[in-house]
Amino acid sequence: MTSAFQNTLDFARQLDAQDALRPFRDRFHLPPGPDGQPAAYMCGNSLGLMPKTARAAVEAEFQSWEEHAVEGHFREPSQWMHYHQTLTEASARLVGAKPVEVVVMNNLTVNLHLLLISFYRPAGRRYKVLMEGGAFPSDQYALESQVKLHGYQPDDAIVELLPRPGEHTLRTADIEARIQALGEELALVILGGVNYYTGQAFDMPAITRAGHAVGAVVGFDLAHAAGNLLLHLHDWDVDFACWCSYKYLNSGPGGTSGVFVHERFANRPDLPRLAGWWGHDATVRFQMKKGFQPMPGAAGWQLSNAQIFPMAIHRAALAIVDEAGGMQELRRKSEQLTGYLEYVLHAAGLPAEVLEIITPADPAQRGCQLSLLVHQQGRQLFDFLSERGIMADWREPNVIRISPVPLYNSFEDVWRIGQAVAAWTTTLTPAAANQ
Ligand SMILES: *Cc1c(COP(=O)(O)O)cnc(C)c1O
C-alpha cells in the first residue's frame, strides 16, 4: 500500500503547520502527562476536553443568579426561561436537522427512554427490536426494560446483530438482510451511529431505508457520532435520535443531551409520550391549566425547565464547533488524522497475532476512533502508553480505544503513539511475539 504519509516527527509537524484547525487546540485545557508536558489525549470519545471558555460561561450564570435571583429567568443576557432555545440552531447544524427537529434536554439515557415511549409501539405480530449485539450497556438495559414494560421477554423481543464468525464488525448487507427477514415482526431498529467498542460507523441512510421498507421505526443513539461524523438526519429520514454532549462535544462530565425527532412527527400530539410542563405549548404554559398540549416538534418532548449550568457549557462548546467551520471542516481533518494514526500503527510493524485494528479501514465506516484488539499483554501496552503521556482508553477484556479528535489533537500526538507502540514491541517476550 502506498501512502502520502511519512513516519517522522518532521512530517507530523509539517501536517500540523498546514492544519487550518491547529489554532483550536489552544481553546482547550490539555491535561499534562507524567513529564508535565501536555498528554496526547486520546479519550475524547469518553470525555472531551474542557474548553477554556467553559468557566466564564458558567460564571456568567452564577452572576445572574447572584444578582437577579428569580428575575434571571427574564433578564438579559441570561433569560433562563428561553435558554434551551439558544442551543437549537447549533444543534440542528450539528446533526443535519431543521431547528424544529431538535431540542437539548436531560441526559442521554433518559432521552432514549422518552423517545422509546413514543417510538417503540409494539402491536400484534410487530414487537421485535433489532440492535447491535454488545451495544453500550445503558442502551441494552434501556431496551430490555422497555420490552418488559410492554410485557415481552427480552430474549424473544430483542434481536441482536453479531459479526460473522472471524469478523469484528457488521456488514451493511447483513443488517439489511436481517431487517428484511424480520419483516413485519420488526417494530424498531435502534443502533449506535458509531459503535462505542469497535468504532464502526453504520450506514445510517441504508439502514433507515431498509427499516422503513418493512414498516419499522428507525432510531440511532449518536453518543459516539455527534461531533464526530457528518450527519444528515433529516435527509436520511431517520425517525428519532439522541446523543450526549460530553464526548465529542466537550460539554463536561454528565453534560446535557440532544434529541432529534423527524419533522413528520412535529405535529402529532396524538403520539403517546411522557409529558411535563416544558413540553407544553409555551404560549399558554403559564396558564397552568389541565390538559397537555405539546409544543410542535422535538420541543414537545421536554419535561423540565432548562438545566442552565450544563447548557451554558454546551453553548460555549458548540460555539467552538461553529467557529471552526462546522462538522464538514472537523470531519475533513478527522479523516486525515485517523488515517495517519492507522498509518503509524501499521508502521510499528506488529503482527496480527499481537495487535489488530478492528475498526473498519474504510473511512466511510468509521469516525475518529480506532479500536486495537491486543491479543497479547494488552493491559501492559495500555500502561506502557500511559507512562509515556498517551491517554487512551482500556476496555475489558483486551481493547484499547484511541480517538484523535480534530479540534484539539495534533498529528504530532498521533506520531507519538506510533513511536510508543513500536517501542513496546521490543519489550514483548519472545513467547508472546511468536504465539
Ligand atoms: C456514553 C454512552 C451512553 C451514556 O449514557 P448517559 O445517560 O449519558 O450516562 C449511553 N449510550 C451510549 C451508546 C454511549 O456511548
Reported as a single tens digit per residue, the pLDDT across 220-263 is 999 999 999 999 999 999 999 999 999 999 999 999 999 999 99
**Residue % of the chain over a pLDDT of 90:** 92
Q: Can you give the pLDDT at residue 2?
A: 53
Distance CA 346, CA 342 (A): 6
Give, using CA atoms, the residue closest to atom 1 of ligand 1: 223
Ranges of H-type helices in 324-428: 327-347, 378-387, 411-425
Q: Exposure of 138 by Cβ count < 10 A (0-12 exposed, 13-18 middle, 19+ buried)?
A: middle
Question: What pLDDT does 432 receive?
Answer: 52
Contact 239 CB / ligand 1 (< 6 Å): no
| Residues 297, 216 share a domain | yes
The predicted structure's pLDDT at residue 228: 98
In this prediction, residue 430 carries a pLDDT of 62
CA-CA distances (angstroms) from residue 89 to 102, 104, 215, 367? 8, 11, 31, 23
| CA-closest candidate to residue 330, choices 404, 222, 233 | 404
Domain boundary among 287, 322, 357: 322
Find out whether the beta carbon of 244 lies less than 6 Å from any atom of ligand 1.
yes
**Residue 210 CA, ligand 1 centroid: distance in Å:** 25
- Atom nearest to 221 CA in ligand 1: 13
- Domain residues for 243? 79-322
Q: What is the pLDDT of residue 50?
A: 98
Whether the per-residue pLDDT at 435 is higher than 50: the answer is no
Q: Which atom of ligand 1 is nearest to the CA of 139?
A: 11
- Examine residue 232 and state whether it is found in any structural domain, yes or no: yes
Q: Residues 94, 137: one domain?
A: yes
Q: Does 322 show up as a binding residue in the annotation?
A: no
Q: How far is the CA of 259 from the centre of ligand 1 (A)?
A: 13
Query: Coil, strand, or helix at residue 384?
Result: helix
67, part of any domain: no
Which of these three, 322, 342, 363, is where a domain ends? 322
Protein residue with its CA nearest to atom 8 in ligand 1? 108
Q: Are residues 127 and 228 in the same domain?
A: yes
Whole-number pLDDT of residue 310: 98
Asked if residue 60 belongs to a domain, the reply is no
Residues 88, 212: one domain? yes
Shared-domain flag, residues 197 and 221: yes
State how far Cα 285 lies from the chain centre.
Answer: 33
User: Does residue 61 line the site of ligand 1, with CB under 6 A?
Assistant: no
* Any domain includes 68: no
Q: In this structure, are 316 and 423 located in the same domain?
A: no
Nearest-CA residue for atom 10 of ligand 1 = 138
* 62 annotated to bind ligand: no
Set of cell numbers at residue 418? 506510533
pTM summary value: 0.96
Where does the pLDDT of residue 76 fall: very low under 50, low under 70, confident under 90, or very high at 90 and above? confident
Is 304's pLDDT higher than 50? yes
Ligand 1 pocket member 119 (CB < 6 A): no
Give the closest residue to 87 by CA, choosing from 265, 317, 386: 317
* Domain end marker among 299, 322, 345: 322
40 and 133 housed in the same domain:
no
Distance (Å) from CA 91 to ligand 1 centroid: 18
Same domain, 14 and 153: no
10 is in an annotated binding site: no
- CATH number where 146 lies: 3.40.640.10
- Structural domain contains residue 269: yes
Pick from 34-48, 200-214, 284-298, 369-383: least confident: 284-298
- Ligand 1 centroid to Cα of residue 223, in Å, is 6
Measured in Å, residue 110 CA sits from the centre of ligand 1 at: 10
Q: Which atom of ligand 1 is closest in space to residue 135's alpha carbon?
A: 13
Q: Which three cell numbers stand for residue 91?
A: 444543534
Residues 178 and 303 in one domain: yes
| pLDDT tens-digit readout, 315-343 | 999 999 999 999 999 999 999 999 999 99
What CATH number is associated with residue 415? 3.90.1150.10
**pLDDT tens profile 255-298:** 999 999 999 999 999 999 999 999 999 888 888 889 999 999 99
Stretch 210-218: mean pLDDT:
98
Overall number of domains in the chain: 2
Do the beta carbons of residue 105 and residue 115 sit within 8 Å?
A: no
pLDDT of residue 287: 84
Q: Is residue 257 part of a domain?
A: yes
User: 375 burial class (0-12, 13-18, 19+ CB within 10 angstroms)?
Assistant: middle
Question: Are residues 272 and 206 both part of a single domain?
Answer: yes
pLDDT in tens, 105-159: 999 999 999 999 999 999 999 999 999 999 999 999 999 999 999 999 999 999 9
pLDDT at 282: 87
Do residue 120 and residue 186 come from a single domain? yes
Query: Contact, 277 vs 255, CB < 8 A?
Result: no
Quote the pLDDT of residue 1. 47
Check whether residue 119 and residue 252 sit in a common domain. yes
